[in-house]
Amino acid sequence: MVVASPEDPGCCGGDVGVYIAGNVAGVRRSRRGAVERERELMVVASPADPDYCGGDVAVYIAGHVAGVRRSQRAGVYSTKFKLENECSYTVWPRVVPGNGTQPLTTTTPLKLEPGESASIFIPVSWFGQLWARTRCSYDITGRFTCLTGDCGTGSAECDSAQTVPPVTVAEFNISGNGGLDFYSVSATRGYNLAMLVVPQSDGEANCMATACVNGPNGNCPYETSGSCTTTCFAFGDPKNCCSGAYVPRGVCKPSEYSLYFGSRCPWAPSYVYDENDGKKKNRAFACSMADYLITFCPHPSLATG
């Protein structure tokens, strides 16, 4: 699903349009709880900020330019992550700072019901990862566990930077080398749901959307409950995990899983050397001065990756 979210607190007026494959899709407005939604078929625009009052929007997906106004704000928080759940089930997103980077100001666990959204503000010069936990529940002892994306800590707060594969992961380096943002959707740790990342820039940067939406179709080498497990996680041997004697580039070869997802999600890295392979499309993308809209379970017909 492609989502456009004009969220400038100070914006005033303007038309909202979602452009798909060169066509303009009309939208109508409805309200679900506290979240305003613009919905027509599988196309959604979700201005959720209380001060939202419109703004011109154009989102081009699957490797095209995403030209959307950047949110205006002051202080140490430089980038907004807008998370949208378009799955038919509840997801529990987890945003994890990398080692040595600034922590987020809140540890409150995020829970998104179908159709809900939430925004997170990311500090300056931040890098980290984001994923969604699925099929989560508490057992009779109060331990919190998830079928996919579980942290292994037994708590909804997920006070760990680790996740149990298989899981689809979005990776970000905000204001990194040269002040640019670098981002990717990765299937190197498996696949548990479809994910789409759309930069919302000021229109000056040639910022590209990326996604992994074409998940298991019954042909995944190691498919369980709609998710797809990596060969490394399935067997744990050095050859499939690019460890030990198989660390060097050229020695570590793409596994059966990597080849499968290389065709299913060509924009998403599926093994350790994908991101740095200049001959392939599946590498990290760059953008400047952007916010990011992350959609869980976007419709597969609206993206190619």
* pLDDT tens-place string over residues 146-166: 999 998 888 888 766 678 888
Query: In a 3-state reduction of DSSP, which class is residue 259?
Result: helix
Amino acid 61: pLDDT: 32
In angstroms, the CA 272 to CA 32 distance is 41
Residue 293: how many CB atoms within 10 A of its CB? 27
**What type of residue is 238?**
P
DSSP letter for 302, please: G
Give all strands of the β-sheet with 291-296 in edge-to-edge order. Answer: 117-123, 77-85, 291-296, 195-200, 210-212
Residues 6+ apart with CB under 8 A from 25: 17, 18, 19, 40, 41, 43
Q: Is the pLDDT of residue 53 over 50?
A: no
- Rounded Cα–Cα distance for residues 31 and 54 (Å): 16
Q: Is the pLDDT of residue 106 over 50?
A: yes
**Which residues partner with 131 through β-bridges?**
94
Nearest to 94 by CA among 30, 153, 40, 181: 153
The string of pLDDT tens digits covering residues 136-148 is: 999 999 999 999 9
Q: What topology does CATH give the domain 71-302?
A: Thaumatin (2.60.110)
Assess contact for 12 and 54: CB atoms under 8 A: yes
How many CB atoms sit inside 10 A of residue 142's CB?
A: 8
Token pair for 3: 């989502």
Q: State the amino acid at position 258 in one-letter form.
A: S
C-alpha dist (Å) from residue 28 to 15, 74, 86, 117 = 12, 32, 17, 18
pLDDT at 221: 66
**C-beta separation of 303 from 220 below 8 A:** no
Place of tokens 């300056």: 124
Query: Is 133 a residue whose pLDDT tops 90?
Result: yes
59 vs 7, 77, 95, 210, CA distance in Å? 14, 24, 24, 12
Q: Which residue, chain included where needed, has tokens 């996919």? A: 148
Q: How large is the average pLDDT for residues 97-102?
A: 77
SS3 207: coil
pLDDT band at residue 243 under the 50/70/90 scheme? confident
Whether 190 shows a pLDDT value over 90: the answer reads: no
pLDDT of residue 84: 96
- Give, for 262, the enclosing helix (H) or strand (E): helix 256-264
* Residue-level pLDDT at 263: 65
pLDDT tens track for 80-93: 999 999 999 999 99
Express each pLDDT in 191-218 by its tens digit. Answer: 899 999 999 876 555 688 888 887 766 6
What pLDDT sits at residue 132? 95
Strand runs labelled E in 86-238: 91-97, 117-123, 126-138, 144-148, 169-174, 181-186, 195-200, 210-212, 223-224, 227-228
Closest Cα partner for 267 from 285, 282, 278? Answer: 282
End-to-end CA separation in angstroms for the chain? 12
Strand-pair category, 144-148 with 126-138: antiparallel
Average pLDDT over residues 39-59: 29
